[in-house]
Structure 1
Amino acid sequence: MQTLTKLRPWIAGVVAVVTLGFPVAMMIDGYVLMAQNDPMHPDVLVLIGLLILGLVGLIGVLAYGIHGYRVGWRHLPLRQWILLALYGVAFVVGLCMWLAFVGAIPYQWVYWIIYGGAD
């Protein structure tokens, strides 16, 4: 039982790298294909990557937020604060994209996330 307790920070780190890394890799691939003027709509890869990133961020914020509320915010280790911040940033970026995707906010507000600049 002690070995599981010792491995828990490593497991959390690996899960964070995999769950945040997969959508980021999809987005990077989409950006590279957009730069090469690929006609197969690589911007969809970027959009799907951002939407998955938002879902992963939501799940991570809920998990670490509930845990932080239960144990007390002052008792969270630094690694959990870092993971909470990473998931929080992923959630905010994904939330902006979801709101733009469903038409709740103008798409021009988050245009810079996909294409890297204003009109």
Structure 2
Amino acid sequence: MQTFSKIRPWIAGVVACLTIGGPLVVMINGYVLMAENDPSHPDALVLMGLLVWGLVGLIGVLTYGIHTYRVGWRQLPMRQRILLTLYGIVFLIGLFIWLAFLGLTPFEWAYWIIYGQAY
């Protein structure tokens, strides 16, 4: 029987794929429906996926950031560095969308992320 420490990297990888890949699938579906001119507001799917990305990125950055603070960047295994960087990128994208969604910044500059073009 394997110990928990041997399967921990696999668990972290699966969780990362589900938490980042799930909203990505929703966003791709929204982009495809927008390309087909679907009248049922597929841009809401894209916005929802981006907002969920912001929350997932925040949790991931906090989790891996605390661990990085405790052990140091040089002591991290490569997979944890990759996951911290990936969660950081996802958090930044989600943060920009959350700031626009809450009205703290103008929403017009975020159109290119959601719609793929500037309005």
Q: Structure 1-normalised TM-score?
A: 0.96
List aligned pairs for 1:16-55, cutoff 5 A: 16-55=16-55
The secondary structure found in structure 2 opposite 1:46 is helix
Q: Give the distance between the partners of 2:117 and 2:42, measured in 1 at CA.
A: 17
Stretch deviating more after TM superposition (109-118 or 73-82): 109-118
Query: Could you say what the CA RMSD is over the residues aligned between the two structures, in angstroms?
Result: 1.2
Q: Give the distance between the partners of 1:40 and 1:115, measured in 2 at CA.
A: 15
**Structure 1: 5+ residue runs without aligned partners?**
none
Q: CA deviation at 1:81?
A: 0.6
Instruction: Tell me which amino acid in the other structure corresponds to 2:84.
Output: L
Q: CA deviation at 1:63?
A: 0.1
Q: Structure 2-normalised TM-score?
A: 0.96
Instruction: Tell me which amino acid in the other structure corresponds to 2:21.
Output: G
**Structure 2: 5+ residue runs without aligned partners?**
none
Match of residue 109 from structure 2: 109
Q: Deviations over 1:83-113 (max 9, x none)?
A: 0011001100000000001111111221111
Match of residue 5 from structure 1: 5
Q: Give the distance between the partners of 1:77 and 1:117, measured in 2 at CA.
A: 39
Instruction: Tell me which amino acid in the other structure corresponds to 1:81.
Output: R
Instruction: Tell me which amino acid in the other structure corresponds to 2:100.
Output: A
Q: How many residues align?
A: 119
